[in-house]
Structure 1
Amino acid sequence: MGYEFELLRNFATRQGLELRLIVSTGLEESFRLLNEGAADIIAINFEYSEPRQKYAAFSKPINEISTILVQRKRAGMATNFEDLRNAEVTIKRGTIYLDKLMALNDSLDLNIQIVEVDESLESLILKVVENDLAYTVVDEDIALVNATYFDELDVDLSISSPSHVSWAVRKNAPQLLETLNDWIDRIHRTGFQAVLYEKYFLNKKNSYFRNSSAFSSVSGGRISVFDDLIKEGADRLGWDWRLLASLVYKESRFDTSAVSYAGAVGLLQLMPVTLRQFGVVNPSDPRESLSGGVNYLSYLDGFWLERVPDNNERLRFILASYNIGHGHVQDAWRLALKYGKDSGVWSNVAFYLERKSKPEVYRDPLVTSGYAKGHLAVQYVSEIINLYESYKVLVSP
C-alpha cells in the first residue's frame, strides 16, 4: 500500500510490466542501485539540482511540494521564520533541505544551526514526537501523513515555496524516460494523481480511520444493531461479546460500508487478501464480514496459542496482530526473547513493537517483517481494552 506504490502499480500495469519494489535506505543507495541496473526508476520526490544531473535523468514534474518544518505543538512554537533565529534544526544528510535552510539563513540572517544526520525522515519525525528533537524538515506529503498519525505534531510552517519534484531513471534509458513522461502527462490529465494525493495526504479522517474513534453512546443494554451477530461470533471465539463489539466499533464504528484508506472494508475492515482467505464474498454483508473477521481472529488465536498460553495476555497479541499483522508482532516477540524478557507477557513484547520504526530495531537480523509504526498497534490494543472496560460498566453481559 502507499502513494508511490499505487502510482508505480498503475504505470507498470499500463505498460504490461511486472513490478518489483526495493525499499532503499537512502539517496546514495538509490542512485547506486539505479546505475548498477538493479533498479530502473527511483520513485522519490527529487527537486532538480545540477549535482543530481550527474547521477540520473529526471522525469517531468510528477507533483509540486513544499518543504515543511516539523515541530511539536506547544506554547512558544515557531509560527514564522523569525521564531527560528538561533534554533537548531536536524535534517537528513544529503537532502535538498540543507540548501533551503542555508537560503533562509542567507536571506534573513537567522543563524539557524543546521545538524545533518544519517537517519531516516521517519526516525527524525519520531524524535520530534518524543521531544528528543525540537525541529526537523521534510517534504510536505511526509509531513501531512505523519501529522495524521501524531496529533501532537505541527506542520503548518513552510520553509520554502512549492517546488516541482520528479522521479529518476538511468541516463542510458531514454525510451523509459519518454514512456514515463507520457504516463505522467496522462495521470495529470485524468486526475488520477490528484485523487491519490487526496486519498493519502489530505483526507486525514479517511487515512487515519482505523486508529481514531470517539466513544459511542450506549443505552438500553445494546451497543449496536449488530449485537446478535456479534454475540454469535463471540461464542465461536469464546470471547465476551462486548470485547468483540469493542473491536468492531474500533474498526468500522458499526458502518457496513466503511472503507479505509488502505482498502480494508466492512464491519471488521478486512483487506482483500484476507477476505479471500477467510471466505468473504460480500464484505458489505454484516454476517459475512463478521464471520470472516471471526475466522481470522480464530486463526490468530491458534497462531499465538503455544507462544502465549495465558488467555488474557494472548488476547492482546491477537488484537495487535489483527491491526498490524502477526509478522510484525512476532518480530517483537523474538526480540523480547533475544533480550531475556518473558515473551508471553504483552508489555514486554509491546516495548519492542513500539520501537519497530527505529532502524536499530527493524534492521535486527531477527526482524523479518521490517519497518512498522508499531506504536500505533500498541495504542490500538490499549484503546480497544479501554473501550471494552467501558462497555462492561454500561452494558450487561
Structure 2
Amino acid sequence: MRRSFSLFITLSVVLLFGVQCTFLEKHFGNTFKEDKYILDLAGIQKRGVIRAAVDNNSTGYYIYRGRRMGYEYELLRDFAKRLDVVLDVVLVSDIQDAFTKLENGSVDIIAINLEKTPDRMESVSFSIPLGKMNTVLVGLKENGKVTDWKDLEGDTIYVRENSAYAYQLLSLRDSLGLNFIVREDQRHEESLIDAVVEKEISWTMADQNVAKANTTYYDGLDISWVVQEAGEVSWVTRDNSPKLLETLNEWLEDKHKRFIPDLYAKYFLNPKNGYFRSNSPFSSIAGSKISQYDELIKNGAEYLGWDWRLLSSLVYKESRFDTSATSYAGARGLLQLMPVTLERFGVTNPNDPEQSLLGGVKYLGYLDKFWMSRVPDPNERLKFILASYNVGHGHVEDAWRLTLKYGKDTQSWEDVSEFLELKSDPEYYKDPIVKSGFAKGHLAVAYVKDVLSIFEAYKALVSA
C-alpha cells in the first residue's frame, strides 16, 4: 500500500510539473529557464572581462613587433579601461558568426562597423554612430575606371555574405533598371580583394577604410567608384544589455571629441603607419615574426615544452624584446632576471640575448618542477609558474598554504589567486603559516592575466 502511494505521488508530480511546464512554455515562453548569457554591465564588471567580437581584417586587430595594435583594438582597450575590466578580443571572419556569438553569450559586444538594417534591428541594439563610412567598388585599374553604373552592365560583383553590401547593390540595380549580377560569397572582404588582384573575380565591395588599407600594398587597385555615400556605422550589443549600451554611448559621446578622430588619423590617414603595417615581417599582416629573437625563443620554448608564442608573450611582457632593459629593482635582460637569479643560472652577461633567454628558461623550468607535484594539470600549473616568475614562488606558496588552510582547491589557480591577492591584508600575511610576509599579490594576478591575454592574441594572429 505504502509503495503504491509513493508511486502515485511520483507520477502525480511528474505529470503536474512536466505537463504544466510544457503548457506554460508553449503558450507563454520558458519563463522558468534561466538566461545563461544575460550579462549586462554589472555582470560583466563582476566577471572582470568584456568579450568583444572584432573583424579579422588588416586594420582592426594585429600584432606589430609583439605589440597588439589596431583601430578597433585601441578603441576597445580604452572602453575596457572605462569599465575597469580586462579586454578579451574574439576574432571573427564571418558577420553571422559575430551575431551568433553575441546571441549565445560568447561575446558581449560586436566591435565591427555595421549599418542598421531592418532585420538586424529586430534582434540587437545599435550604439550611437562611431562615424560615417563610404562603401566603394574595388576593381583593377587595368580594367578601366568606372564612371557610370552602366559600365557594370552584365558583370558580376562578389560581396561578403551577410554584409549590407548585397542589399545596397540590389537596391541600386533595381532602382536604375540595370542588369549586373550580385553574388554573395563566404570569404572576407580582404580575401575578395585578393581575388580581384589575382584576377579570379573582377569586382567586389568594401568599406572605404579597408579598401584604402589594401591600396598601400596593392598598387593596381581602383577604389574610386563610391557605391554609397557616408552611411552611419555603429557597434552592436544585445537587446538585454541596456546598461552596457548606455555606458557605451556615453563613452562614444566623450571620445568623439578627440580620441576617435586622432585614432582614425593614426590608422587610416597616416601612410607611414600603413606601410609598416603591410610590409614589415614583424607585422602579423605581412609576416609571421613576433621579434628578431623568434628562433632563440623557439629553442627555449622547445626546452620547456611550451608554445613558442607563449614564451614570446612572457618576453614581451618583461622587456618588450629590449636586451638592454633594466627595471627599477635591477632586473635585466630579455626575461628581466634579478642579479641573484642571473648568477644562479649562469648568466654572466644579461644584455646578451642568448644568455639572458637561456637563464630565464632554466628558471622557468625550475618553477615548473617546483609546482609539478602540487598542481599536476599543466594548464593550471602554467598560471602558478607565471605568478611565481613575477612575485616569487615563496609568495605563491604562501597563498597555496592559505588555500589549503581555508579548505579550498589548492590545484585551482582561481582559488589560490584569491589568497595571493589577500597577501596585502595583515589578517592573512601575518598568519603563522605565511613564510614570505606581505606581497602586492593583486599585481601578480593581473600579470598572469596579461601574459595569457597577449598569448591569446599571438595565437590568433601569428601562425605556429
- Asked which structure has the greater CA Rg, the reply is 2
Of 85, 100, 105, 1:37 maps to: 105
Give 5+ residue unaligned stretches, structure 2. 1-68, 281-295, 297-314, 327-332, 334-349, 358-457
Q: What letter is aligned with 2:322?
A: F
Kindly indicate whether residue 59 of structure 2 is the aligned counterpart of residue 8 of structure 1: no
TM-score for both structures, normalised by structure 2: 0.48
Identity of aligned residues (%): 38
Q: What letter is aligned with 1:16?
A: D
- Once residues 38 and 201 of structure 1 are traced to their aligned partners in structure 2, the CA distance between those partners, rounded to angstroms, is 30
Deviation at 1:78, TM superposition (A): 2.2
- The alignment partner of 2:199 has SS state of coil
Deviation at 1:11, TM superposition (A): 0.4
Q: What letter is aligned with 1:205?
A: K
Any residues of structure 2 matched to 1:239-388 within 5 Å, and which? 276-281=320-325, 295=353, 369-370=459-460
Superposition CA RMSD, Å: 3.5
In the comparison of the two structures, how many residue pairs are matched? Answer: 246
Q: What letter is aligned with 2:189?
A: L
Instruction: Please name the residue that 1:199 is paired with.
Output: 266
- The alignment partner of 2:234 has SS state of strand
Kindly indicate whether residue 134 of structure 2 is the aligned counterpart of residue 66 of structure 1: yes
- The alignment partner of 1:160 has SS state of strand
- Per-residue CA deviation, residues 266-290 of structure 1 (Å, 9 max, x unaligned), is xxxxx975953333459xxxxx9xx
Kindly indicate whether residue 70 of structure 2 is the aligned counterpart of residue 26 of structure 1: no
Q: Contact 2:157–2:180 (CA<8 Å) still a contact in 1?
A: yes
1:112/1:294 CA distance change after superposition, 3 Å: farther
Q: Contact 2:217–2:279 (CA<8 Å) still a contact in 1?
A: no
Q: Contact 1:31–1:55 (CA<8 Å) still a contact in 2?
A: no
Q: Contact 1:71–1:134 (CA<8 Å) still a contact in 2?
A: yes
- The alignment partner of 1:137 has SS state of strand
1:276/1:116 CA distance change after superposition, 3 Å: closer
- Once residues 27 and 179 of structure 1 are traced to their aligned partners in structure 2, the CA distance between those partners, rounded to angstroms, is 24
- Once residues 89 and 188 of structure 1 are traced to their aligned partners in structure 2, the CA distance between those partners, rounded to angstroms, is 35
- Once residues 352 and 271 of structure 2 are traced to their aligned partners in structure 1, the CA distance between those partners, rounded to angstroms, is 29
- Once residues 86 and 121 of structure 2 are traced to their aligned partners in structure 1, the CA distance between those partners, rounded to angstroms, is 28
User: Which of structure 1's runs of 4+ aligned residues deviate more than 4 A?
Assistant: 210-213, 271-275, 292-296, 368-373
Q: What letter is aligned with 1:11?
A: F
Q: Which moved more, 1:201-210 or 1:50-59?
A: 201-210
Q: Contact 2:216–2:278 (CA<8 Å) still a contact in 1?
A: no
- Once residues 274 and 126 of structure 1 are traced to their aligned partners in structure 2, the CA distance between those partners, rounded to angstroms, is 37
1:119/1:275 CA distance change after superposition, 3 Å: same
Q: Contact 1:101–1:112 (CA<8 Å) still a contact in 2?
A: no
Instruction: Please name the residue that 2:205 is paired with.
Output: 137
Any residues of structure 2 matched to 1:224-235 within 5 Å, and which? none
- The alignment partner of 1:22 has SS state of strand
1:116/1:295 CA distance change after superposition, 3 Å: same
- Once residues 276 and 461 of structure 2 are traced to their aligned partners in structure 1, the CA distance between those partners, rounded to angstroms, is 21
TM-score for both structures, normalised by structure 1: 0.55
- Per-residue CA deviation, residues 217-272 of structure 1 (Å, 9 max, x unaligned), is xxxxxxxxxxxxxxxxxxxx9xxxxxxxxxxxxxxxxxxxxxxxxxxxxxxxxx97
- Per-residue CA deviation, residues 38-76 of structure 1 (Å, 9 max, x unaligned), is 211000111111100122111000111011111112152
1:201/1:103 CA distance change after superposition, 3 Å: same
Of 49, 61, 75, 2:117 maps to: 49
1:293/1:74 CA distance change after superposition, 3 Å: farther
Instruction: Please name the residue that 1:96 is paired with.
Output: 164
Instruction: Please name the residue that 1:121 is paired with.
Output: 189
Kindly indicate whether residue 223 of structure 2 is the aligned counterpart of residue 155 of structure 1: yes
Q: Contact 1:66–1:160 (CA<8 Å) still a contact in 2?
A: yes
Instruction: Please name the residue that 1:208 is paired with.
Output: 275
Q: Contact 1:199–1:207 (CA<8 Å) still a contact in 2?
A: no
1:372/1:153 CA distance change after superposition, 3 Å: farther
Instruction: Please name the residue that 2:246 is paired with.
Output: 178
